[in-house]
Amino acid sequence: MSIPTLDASGKVVVVTGGSKGLGRAMALGFAEAGADVVVASRKLEPCEAVAREIRAMGRRALAVSCHVGDWEQCAALVDATVAEFGRIDVLVNNAGIAPVPPSLVDVTADLFDKTIAVNLKGPLRLTALAAQHMRAGGSIINISSKASLHPTPFTVVYAAAKAGLNALTKAAANEFGPRGIRVNAIVCGTFHTDSLHASIPTEELQAQMASNVGLGRIATADEIVGTALYLASNASSYLTGELITLDGG
């Protein structure tokens, strides 16, 4: 028996929201592990910047502008990936937004639609489309949130969207399991990224949040990479439909 590794050499990996935060960390991490990477988000230039970093590592990279809530743009992302690389081995549904309404009654139709579109509608369509270009061994990784398991009045729409993403994870795992394609979610606790700093801006509030974490600190963005590499690799070959909580305890 050979010992499984996290090596991603020769894999084609698509990361949505790959221009910054957790997505950028995973895009660079997969490239470091040997993968070719498609970096997608709405703004092209930040994706190009990450793609340049990946090419500097000697890997291939493609930057694509894609609003994941728009299904035509989801199709264009998959088409561009297949045109460039011929297939998809790993899809990371990472793009997400978490607008915070002051209360339930302040949730507008626009906020509801946008939050569901980016966190759930896009991942559903991309999962369906990308799986058509995957072989046995393919892996889909959904980036969920602990808010999906512990919703508050402020996170109600975001939490519902991520709970939907958890359900999508299990449904797609059942659908694609017979083809050898695995689907799992990383249920994230708190990570230092722009979106966290926008919603929890002061060091005092961040320290308060860290005090509720078993390890006593908020994670750095690159601490998601090991779990993503694991879920993409044959080290997790019998793991599917699973929600892995990554929250520092």
Ligand X SMILES: NC(=O)c1ccc[n+]([C@@H]2O[C@H](COP(=O)([O-])OP(=O)(O)OC[C@H]3O[C@@H](n4cnc5c(N)ncnc54)[C@H](OP(=O)(O)O)[C@@H]3O)[C@@H](O)[C@H]2O)c1
Q: Which two tokens stand for residue 124?
A: 């559903």
Q: What separation, in Å, do the N-terminal and C-terminal C-alpha atoms of the chain show? A: 33
Catalytic residue at 238? no
By CB under 6 A, residue 26 contacts ligand X: no
Min CB(136)–ligand X separation in Å: 27
19: enclosing H helix or E strand: none
By CB under 6 A, residue 113 contacts ligand X: no
Q: Which of 158, 176, 191, 230 is catalytic?
A: 158
Say which amino acid occupies 8.
Answer: A
Question: How many whole angstroms from its chain centre is CA 75?
Answer: 18
Task: Find out whether 188 and 224 touch, Cβ atoms under 8 Å.
Answer: yes
Say which amino acid occupies 227.
Answer: T
Is the Cβ of residue 58 or residue 214 nearer to ligand X in the bound state?
A: 214
By CB under 6 A, residue 185 contacts ligand X: no
Question: How many whole angstroms from its chain centre is CA 229?
Answer: 12
Instruction: Name which of 202, 108, 193 is nearest 157 in CA terms.
Output: 108
| CA distances in angstroms from 177 to 122, 185, 204, 207, 234, listed in the order given | 21, 15, 45, 42, 15
Task: Find out whether 163 and 148 touch, Cβ atoms under 8 Å.
Answer: yes
By CB under 6 A, residue 166 contacts ligand X: no
By CB under 6 A, residue 101 contacts ligand X: no
By CB under 6 A, residue 41 contacts ligand X: yes
Q: Which stretch binds ligand X (CB under 6 A): 96-104, 205-213, 227-235, 238-246?
A: 96-104
By CB under 6 A, residue 98 contacts ligand X: yes
Task: Name residues contacting ligand X, limited to 140-159 (CB under 6 A).
Answer: 143, 145
Binder to ligand X among 31, 35, 69, 181 (CB under 6 A)? 69
Min CB(42)–ligand X separation in Å: 3
The residues annotated with a catalytic role in the active site are 158
- Residues in contact with ligand X by CB under 6 A are 16-17, 19-23, 41-43, 46, 66-69, 94-98, 118, 143, 145, 188, 190-191, 193-196
